Structures are given as C-alpha cells and as structure tokens.
Amino acid sequence: MAGGARIPFELLPGHCRWGPVLDDLLATDEPLWVCGEPGVGVSSVGAWMAERRGEPFLDDVELQDPGTWMTWIRNHPKGVLGSHRSPEHPSVVEVGSRCLSLRLASLEEAPQSLQACLESLAQAEGLEGPLPAALGALPCAGNLRGLRNRILRWKLLGQMPGETPSEGSGPLPLEAEDLATNLHMLERLLLHRALRRSYGNRVEAAKRLGISRRQLYLLVARHGDPVRGEAPSVEGPKRLTRLRQNSSKGGDHR
C-alpha cells in the first residue's frame, strides 16, 4: 500500500511502466534512488523497496547535508534513497549519479490511474455508492495525498473541489466609491475562495494565491478563515482605517 494514501502499488500512476521491472531493479547491486513529486508515494515505495532488499532507507535526501549522503552510501552500497528531486538535479547529482533511479509519476502524468486510485481511497474510508464526479477532477494539488484529502473532506465536511458557498457567487459587492474599501473587499473574497477550494489547507491556499505562507497568515488575521470559523483578529490596512476615520469626522460636521 502507498503509505497514508493506502493505495496498492499496482494502482499507482505509472505502475504499468515500472512495475514489470521492479524485481529486476531490486536484484541489482546498485543503490536505488526513488523520486517524484510530493504526494506520489516516494516515502512509501522507497521504504518498501528497502525492506525487500533488507537495507536501510534514507528519505528526503535533498534535506540532508552532502557529507551525510556520501558517508551513508559508502556504508550502505545497496541502500535505497528517496527524494523529490531527480538524481540529475545539480543539488544532489553527486550522490544521485551513483544510483539507479525509479521515478514515480504524478496523477497529471498518468490521468488514466485517477479513477482506480479514487475508488481505492473511497473503499478504504468505507464510502459506498457512486462518487461525485468533481472528486476525480484534475489537476489535483498534492497528488495522491491531495486526492485522499479530497475524499476525507467530502466524507467529513461534505466539501468538494471548487465548491463556493452561495454568498461568494454573483457580482462583487463593490458599492463603495473609494479604492481602499473595494480592494479590501476583493482581497477578502479571493482569500476566502482560495481557503474554501483548498478545504482549509493554508499551504495550498497560499499557492493558489501566489503568495507566501507568511502573507497568507497576515490576510487570515485581517479577514478571518471561513473554513475554520476564525474571525478577523486585526483591523484592516491603515489606509482603510484612515478613510473610515475621515468619513466619521465628515459625518460629525454635517
């Protein structure tokens, strides 16, 4: 099974290519390099291969100190290494070039695998009957991990990809004339939409918005989080506060 995703290896994207040669790959005397995008099962497949070989597994190679790589591979010449980078990547090529590599495909690269993976995950969660078509939509941020999160969020929260509450539809409520108020409203709408479409996953929401996680947390403090039920904890930008203060003063003079 593919780790937390609980998908049998034979259903993994691209298994039709690497599955038939897996035994031959394991039988070699070379160290093995298992790689692929985050969420495709690198850790699970790598650990399984290491167990089959009776050798240790070094995961997240790119996060290790280069000195650690070379010492480890000298001590474990038939060991298995896992990485989200290809062995030819400049940052890891010194150790990657010594290994035979197995690259795991993403769902986008092997979309024909998506339905079987979806059904396997649903069965593991005890879900019966036909699944909503939206759960099998591509792209799927996070790959197999993201697909499992879709299943769980639909099972536990009734949420589906791209679902937006009714108050987020229709024309933007830009009734004010000043730019600051309208930008504040637009910022809030885009933030809340990204949070809903990522089911509250703030790392994914930040990627959707094209901002850093630090910027996202600042926006959440300003506008709240509709998925987690968090209210805003700080006031809006200073330009908006000044505008409101000036409007209030103007009202007092009338």
What is the model's pLDDT at position 179?
Answer: 76
Paired residues of 35 in beta bridges: 83, 103
Pick the range with the lowest mean pLDDT from 63-67, 79-83, 134-138, 195-199.
195-199
What is the model's pLDDT at position 174?
Answer: 59
| DSSP letter assigned to residue 157 | H
pLDDT tier, 146 (very low <50, low <70, confident <90, very high otherwise): confident
Q: b/e per residue, 141-165, with b = 16+ CB within 10 A?
A: bbbbbbbbbbbebbeeeebbbeeee
| Helix or strand run (H / E) with residue 150 | helix 143-157
Calculate mean pLDDT across residues 11-23: 93
Calculate mean pLDDT across residues 119-125: 91
Q: Are 5 and 147 in contact (CB under 8 A)?
A: yes
32-41, 136-145, 153-162, 218-227: which has the highest mean pLDDT? 32-41
- When the pLDDT of each residue in the chain is averaged and rounded to a whole number, the result is 83
pLDDT tier, 251 (very low <50, low <70, confident <90, very high otherwise): very low
Judged against a pLDDT cut of 90, whether residue 163 lies above it is answered with no
Neighbours of 120 (CB within 10 A): 22
Paired residues of 57 in beta bridges: 80
* pLDDT, tens only, 177-207: 677 777 888 888 899 888 877 767 888 889 9
What is the model's pLDDT at position 162?
Answer: 59
What is the model's pLDDT at position 66?
Answer: 86
What is the model's pLDDT at position 91?
Answer: 92
Calculate mean pLDDT across residues 95-121: 93
Q: Are 82 and 46 in contact (CB under 8 A)?
A: yes
What is the model's pLDDT at position 180?
Answer: 72
C-alpha to C-alpha distance for 82 and 41, rounded to whole angstroms: 10
Calculate mean pLDDT across residues 138-167: 75
Paired residues of 101 in beta bridges: 33
Q: From residue 234, give the alpha-carbon distance in Å to each of 202, 203, 218, 222, 245.
A: 19, 21, 9, 5, 16
What pTM did the predictor assign?
A: 0.64
Strands of the 100-103 sheet, one edge to the other:
57-58, 80-83, 32-35, 100-103
* pLDDT, tens only, 29-67: 999 999 999 889 999 999 999 999 999 999 999 998 888
What is the model's pLDDT at position 229?
Answer: 73
Judged against a pLDDT cut of 80, whether residue 172 lies above it is answered with no
